[in-house]
Amino acid sequence: MTRRKKIYEGKAKILYEGPEPGTLIQYFKDDTTAFDATKKAVLEGKGVINNRISEYIMTRLGSIGVQTHFIKRLNLREQLIREVEIIPLEVVCRNVAAGSLSTRFGMPEGQALPRSIIEFYLKDDKLHDPMVAEEHITAFNWASTQEIDDMMALTLRVNDFLTGMFGAVGITLVDFKIEFGRIWENDFARIILADEISPDSCRLWDAQTNEKLDKDRFRRDLGNVIESYTEVARRLGIMKEMPTVIQGGLH
């Protein structure tokens, strides 16, 4: 591998300068963190699985007309992406009460929500990613009203698609987090889907047993984290393309 300029190292991924201007290479690490990175682990093979799952989902979303940053997968841990100006918001979409929504509103985990709910959190680890309302987003110029509308419409499309896709393989999409970025064309910015979609960023429950197949296994010390991520990939029918070492089981 040639020496490349590292642009940013995050908690789960590294961004390198890409081969063309306006591109980046997104490298998926095995590092796993939770609770503002106060809890950490290295889960062998996680980066490989998430790289593949995210490739698969971004590609499928692209085919229904949801524009994403994904260009192509380069190798086991890397994908080529379009560089975007990241909007500093985590967009969360929830179908079933879980996690912080359950805590904040005293609703038992697993309770179906009356309808899908979209939430915005400020991407700021130091401030512990506080929830924000549209009022804050527009007042502090984190995104425009038009961009909020675009993000919400895209998030609902992603939710519809993912709910269908996971539902078809016996998985309930409880909630997920996505990020968006701006692509500039002259003075006009378009919003596209960026970052990743993987068991790190979704709550995925087995539809029959409600068994968790996502990062909550790590957050809550439930064990079998990689096995669960692998099960998600297996059900999506993309395990056969994995290297033998991962197909054979990583632990």
Ligand X SMILES: Nc1ncnc2c1ncn2[C@@H]1O[C@H](COP(=O)(O)OP(=O)(O)O)[C@@H](O)[C@H]1O
State the residues that interact with ligand X by CB under 6 A: 8, 10-13, 15, 24, 69, 81-84, 86, 179, 181, 194-195
Q: Give the x-and-dash track for 70-109 against a second copy (CB under 8 A).
A: ----------------------------------xxx---
- Choice between 50 and 172, CB closer to ligand X: 50
Residue 117: name its binding partner from ligand X, a second copy, none (Cβ under 5 to 8 Å by kind).
a second copy
CB of 21 to ligand X, least distance (A): 13
Q: Which does 141 bind (CB under 5 to 8 A by kind): a second copy, ligand X, none?
A: a second copy
The verdict on 240 binding a second copy (CB under 8 A) reads no
10 vs 237 by CB, closer to ligand X: 10
Which H or E element spans position 104? Answer: helix 99-105
- Work out which of 2, 38, 141, 208 binds a second copy, going by CB under 8 A: 141
Joined together, the tokens standing for residue 135 give 């009022």
Q: Which amino acid is at 103?
A: T
- Rounded distance, CA 112 to CA 5, Å? 46
| Contact (CB, 8 A) for 121 and 151 | no
Choose the one of a second copy, ligand X, none that binds residue 46, judging by a C-beta under 5 to 8 angstroms depending on kind.
none
Q: How far is the CB of 85 from ligand X (least distance, A)?
A: 7
96 binds, among ligand X, a second copy, none (CB under 5 to 8 A by kind): none
What's the CA gap between 110 and 94, in Å, rounded? 11
CA distance 120 to 135: 11
Choose among a second copy, ligand X, none what residue 179 binds, the Cβ cut-off being 5 to 8 Å by kind: ligand X
Q: Which is nearer to ligand X, 16 or 166 (CB)?
A: 16
Residues 41-70 that bind a second copy (CB under 8 A): none
Say how far apart CA 91 and CA 89 lie, in whole Å. Answer: 6
Of the candidates 118, 98, 94, 100, which has an alpha carbon nearest to the alpha carbon of residue 108?
98
Crossing angle of helices 145-168 and 46-63, in 10° steps, is: 110
Among 117, 168, 169, 222, binds a second copy (CB under 8 A): 117
Residue 209 interacts with a second copy (CB under 8 A): yes or no: no
Please tell me the distance from the alpha carbon of residue 93 to that of residue 46, in angstroms, as a whole number: 23
- How many residues interact with a second copy (rule CB under 8 A)? 24
Residue from 194, 205, 206 nearest 99 by CA: 205
| Cα→Cα distances 159→42, 208, 240, Å | 29, 20, 26
DSSP-derived letter for residue 111 is P
Residues within the interface to a second copy (CB under 8 A): 104-106, 113-115, 117-120, 122, 124, 126-127, 130-136, 139-141
